[in-house]
C-alpha cells in the first residue's frame, strides 16, 4: 500500500483506479460497483448501478455516494436517476434528475461507448459524475403555449383517461391535421418519467418508406421537462428542455408529444423558454 505522505502522486493515481464490486466481464442485466472520483476535495467513492439488456444501445442508471465513505451509503445521499444512449455518433447522451438536489439535465458526454469491458463502464460513471458536478438548474417554470390554440380541434386519438402502462396516439404536430400527422407510443410507470417512440402517422403523402422512428426519454420536474432522443435512421441524437410541461391528462400528454416533435425538428418557437441541442 502506498502511503500518501510517502508519494502523494503515486498514492493519488492508485486511489483513482480503485473500484469495489466491479465484475470481471459485464454481462447483461443489473450490475453496480463503486469507483473513485475526485469532486475537488480529494478522491472518494461513488456508487453507480446500471440496467443494460446487452443488445440495445441504452441503459438506465442510478448514482449516489459509495458505502466505503465514512457515514455514507447508497441511498443515504442525494441519489440521481438517469438514462444513457449511445446509438449514433460519438460519446454518450445522458438525461437525468434528482429530486433531492432539484436537478434536471441532459448532456452529450465525451467518453467511450460502453462495452463488455468493465473499465468502459467505469469511464462512463466518471463522465456522469463530471456532468453532475456542472449540471445546470432546470428550466424556469412558465406557462408554455402549445403549437395551436385549437388543441381540441386538431387530429388526435389520445385515450380519454391516461393510465400507467403502454399507450399511444396520433396527433398533429402543427396546425394542419390532414398532412402533418405524427404517431407516438409511451411506456409510463406512473411516475414522472416515460420512454417513448415517435414516427410519422398515416396521412396524404406519407408512406411506410417515409418512416424514421425516433426514441427517447422524457423527465419532468419543477414545472419543466427534459426530453432526450436518438434515431439511427436519421443519424442524430439530442435533447431539449421545455418549461410548462408536466403531463397528467389527455391534453397534457398530447402537449408533451408536440414538444417531443419540436425538440426533434429544433422548432422551439411554439414553446416559450424551450432550449436544446442536436448532434448529427
DSSP 216-232: EEEEEETTEEEEEEEET
pLDDT digits (tens, 9 = 90+) for 89-115: 789 999 999 998 889 999 999 998 998
At residue 205, does pLDDT exceed 60? no
pLDDT at residue 2, as a whole number: 55
Residue where one domain finishes, among candidates 75, 104, 133: 133
At residue 248, does pLDDT exceed 60? yes
At residue 24, does pLDDT exceed 70? yes
Q: Phi, psi at residue 132, to the nearest 5°? A: -65, -35
Q: Is residue 119 part of a domain?
A: yes
Of the two residues 244 and 149, the one the predictor is more confident about is 244
Residue where one domain finishes, among candidates 133, 165, 192: 133
Indicate whether 269 and 218 sit together in one domain. yes
Terminal-residue alpha carbon distance, the chain: 47
Q: Is residue 80 part of a domain?
A: yes
Indicate whether 161 and 236 sit together in one domain. yes
Indicate whether 71 and 119 sit together in one domain. yes
At residue 47, does pLDDT exceed 50? yes
Q: Count how many domains the chain has.
A: 2
pLDDT bin (cut points 50, 70, 90) of residue 134 is confident
At residue 201, does pLDDT exceed 60? yes
Q: Is residue 172 part of a domain?
A: yes
Q: Is residue 167 part of a domain?
A: yes
Mean pLDDT rounded to a whole number for the chain = 83
pLDDT at residue 69, as a whole number: 53
Helix (H) or strand (E) holding 13: helix 8-16
Indicate whether 155 and 266 sit together in one domain. yes
pLDDT digits (tens, 9 = 90+) for 185-198: 999 999 999 999 99
**For residues 73, 79, 83 and 85, what is the CA-based torsion angle, rounded to 10 degrees?**
-60
Indicate whether 98 and 218 sit together in one domain. no
pLDDT at residue 231, as a whole number: 93
Domain that holds residue 201: 151-279
Distances (CA, A) of 277 to 6, 18, 271: 47, 35, 15
Of the two residues 210 and 77, the one the predictor is more confident about is 77
The residues pairing with 101 across neighbouring beta strands, listed in sequence order, are: none
Residue where one domain finishes, among candidates 133, 166, 193: 133
Q: Phi, psi at residue 59, to the nearest 5°? A: -155, 145
Indicate whether 15 and 119 sit together in one domain. yes
Indicate whether 242 and 210 sit together in one domain. yes
- DSSP-derived 3-state class of residue 118: helix
Q: Is residue 2 part of a domain?
A: no
pLDDT at residue 132, as a whole number: 93
Amino acid at each position: 500500500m502506498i502511503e500518501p505522505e510517502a508519494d502523494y502522486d503515486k498514492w493519488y493515481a492508485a486511489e483513482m483506479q480503485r473500484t469495489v464490486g466491479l465484475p470481471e466481464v459485464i454481462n447483461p442485466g443489473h450490475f453496480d460497483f463503486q469507483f473513485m472520483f475526485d469532486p475537488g476535495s480529494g478522491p472518494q467513492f461513488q456508487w453507480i448501478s446500471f440496467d443494460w439488456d446487452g443488445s440495445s444501445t441504452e441503459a438506465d442508471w442510478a448514482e449516489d455516494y459509495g458505502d466505503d465513505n465514512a457515514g455514507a451509503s447508497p441511498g443515504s445521499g442525494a441519489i440521481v436517476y438517469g438514462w444513457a444512449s449511445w446509438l449514433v455518433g460519438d460519446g454518450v447522451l445522458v438525461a437525468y434528475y434528482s429530486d433531492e438536489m432539484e436537478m434536471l439535465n441532459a448532456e452529450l458526454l465525451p467518453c467511450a461507448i460502453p462495452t463488455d469491458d468493465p473499465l468502459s463502464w467505469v469511464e462512463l460513471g466518471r463522465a456522469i459524475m463530471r456532468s453532475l458536478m456542472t449540471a445546470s438548474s432546470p428550466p424556469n417554470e412558465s406557462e408554455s403555449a402549445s403549437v395551436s390554440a385549437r388543441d381540441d380541434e386538431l387530429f388526435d386519438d389520445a385515450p380519454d383517461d391516461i393510465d400507467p402502462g403502454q399507450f399511444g396516439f396520433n396527433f398533429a404536430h402543427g396546425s394542419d391535421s390532414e398532412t402533418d400527422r405524427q404517431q407516438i407510443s409511451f411506456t409510463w410507470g406512473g411516475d414522472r418519467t416515460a420512454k417513448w417512440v415517435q414516427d410519422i402517422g398515416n396521412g396524404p403523402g406519407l408512406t411506410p418508406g417515409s418512416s424514421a422512428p425516433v426514441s427517447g426519454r422524457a423527465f419532468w420536474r419543477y414545472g419543466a421537462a427534459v426530453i432526450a432522443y436518438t434515431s439511427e435512421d436519421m443519424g442524430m441524437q439530442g435533447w431539449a428542455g421545455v418549461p410548462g410541461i408536466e403531463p397528467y391528462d389527455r391534453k397534457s400528454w398530447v402537449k408533451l408529444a408536440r414538444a417531443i416533435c419540436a425538440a426533434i425538428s429544433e422548432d422551439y418557437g411554439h414553446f416559450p423558454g424551450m432550449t436544446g441541442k442536436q448532434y448529427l
